[in-house]
């Protein structure tokens, strides 16, 4: 009942904020979105984070989760939530790139951050064997410590995986009996990998990566085949990264045509390849809907409900 009350409250907020948009053809004026992953601590946002958050709200993105990638960034993410209460939330953890920074105090510091109600997930944590900025064995050790912490605290995991699916599955299956509901953030894998994560009870996070996916059995095919049900789908921008290139030549014209003028206006006016923003999220939601054969407002509402449910976000 509380979750439904949360959604009703957000709906009312969005209606109040979008009364100025009278074009009945632009259904995206009614979108209610939650961006579950934006790197607002990135230096690219250091001068205008207030404007970035305001633009997000105007586009329909009512709440944003700010990703923590190491102790310092996790602390800064939490600080931002205090500046934008009930709009920004944070995560706390050690990204695989930063696994080498994990020391004897790190776990206690992460746990301390997670004690704050605004800090709603453990992560960004996981494995990245594509770039190996930290040694693989160090990544594995630090990842497992964070999985164990999430299980003990019953906090969702905000997971990162690149070229390490099998190794990640080994760790997650080890804790399967106590694994809290969690999300595989910015999924870039294939259909078989998605099914394996779904079988573990994970949610799948989709970013602007779908605009550039060129694989035959990757994220786009996963969506067109409806491999991921709506009740396990989450949306995110990973800003300032993963710019949704709506001009991609790889997309059929009929798919491109579903992207509304209002959504592309936010994208073209405020976002670039160098700096994506949360206000670009409606474009990605519309593409997801087109690929799944669903209405964008249904994808928006379902993913918002999922985010409220998984992370316990307040209204």
Whole-angstrom CA distances from 153 to 2, 109, 110, 129, 250 are 22, 14, 11, 27, 43
pTM for the model: 0.91
Q: Is residue 213 part of a domain?
A: yes
pLDDT, residue 214, reads 86
Q: Is residue 271 part of a domain?
A: yes
Q: Is residue 22 part of a domain?
A: no
How confident is the chain (315 residues) per 10-residue block, as mean pLDDT?
53 47 43 97 97 97 98 98 98 98 97 98 97 95 98 98 98 98 98 98 97 92 96 98 86 83 95 97 96 95 97 82
Q: Is residue 25 part of a domain?
A: no
Is residue 21 annotated as involved in ligand binding?
Answer: no
Is residue 128 annotated as involved in ligand binding?
Answer: no
Q: Is residue 24 part of a domain?
A: no
Contact 94, 146 (CB under 8 A): yes
Is residue 254 annotated as involved in ligand binding?
Answer: no
Is residue 118 annotated as involved in ligand binding?
Answer: no
Q: Is residue 19 part of a domain?
A: no
pLDDT, residue 26, reads 41
Q: Is residue 43 part of a domain?
A: yes
Contact 123, 93 (CB under 8 A): yes
Q: How many domains does the chain have?
A: 1
Measured between alpha carbons, how far is 165 from 128 in angstroms, rounded to an integer? 9
Cβ-in-10-Å burial (0-12, 13-18, 19+) of 144 comes to: middle
pLDDT, residue 5, reads 53
Q: Is residue 241 part of a domain?
A: yes
pLDDT, residue 286, reads 96
Domain that holds residue 286: 2-14+31-311
DSSP 48-109: THHHHHHHHHHHTEEEEEEPP-SHHHHHHHHHHHHHSTTTEEEEE---GGGGGG--TTHHHH
pLDDT, residue 94, reads 98
Residue 301 belongs to domain with CATH number: 3.20.20.140
């Amino acid at each position: 009942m509380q979750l439904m009350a949360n959604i009703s409250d957000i709906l009312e907020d969005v209606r109040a904020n979008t009364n100025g948009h009278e074009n009945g053809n632009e259904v995206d004026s009614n979108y209610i979105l939650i961006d579950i992953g934006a790197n607002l601590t990135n230096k690219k946002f250091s001068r205008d984070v207030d404007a970035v958050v305001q633009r997000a709200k105007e586009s329909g993105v009512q709440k944003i989760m700010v990703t923590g990638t190491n102790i310092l960034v996790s602390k800064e993410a939490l600080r931002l939530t205090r500046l934008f209460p009930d709009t920004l939330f944070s995560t706390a953890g050690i990204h695989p790139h930063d696994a080498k920074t994990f020391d004897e105090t790190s776990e206690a510091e992460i746990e301390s951050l997670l004690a704050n109600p605004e800090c709603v997930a453990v992560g960004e944590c996981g494995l990245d064997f594509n770039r190996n900025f930290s040694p693989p064995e160090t990544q594995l050790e630090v990842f497992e410590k964070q999985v164990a912490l999430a299980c003990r605290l019953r906090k969702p995991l905000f997971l990162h995986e690149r070229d390490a699916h099998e190794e990640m599955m080994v760790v997650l299956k080890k804790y399967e009996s106590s694994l809290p509901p969690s999300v595989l953030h910015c999924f870039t894998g294939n259909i078989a990998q998605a099914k394996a994560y779904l079988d573990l009870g994970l949610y799948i996070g989709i970013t602007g990566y779908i605009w550039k996916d060129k694989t035959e059995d990757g994220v786009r095919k996963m969506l067109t085949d409806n491999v991921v049900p709506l009740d396990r789908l989450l949306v995110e921008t990973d800003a300032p990264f993963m710019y949704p290139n709506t001009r991609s030549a790889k997309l059929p014209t009929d798919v491109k045509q579903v992207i509304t003028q209002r959504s592309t206006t936010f994208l073209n006016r405020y976002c670039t390849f160098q700096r994506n923003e949360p206000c670009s999220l409606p474009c990605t939601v519309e593409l997801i809907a087109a690929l799944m054969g669903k209405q964008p407002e249904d994808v928006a509402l379902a993913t918002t409900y999922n985010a409220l449910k998984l992370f316990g976000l307040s209204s």
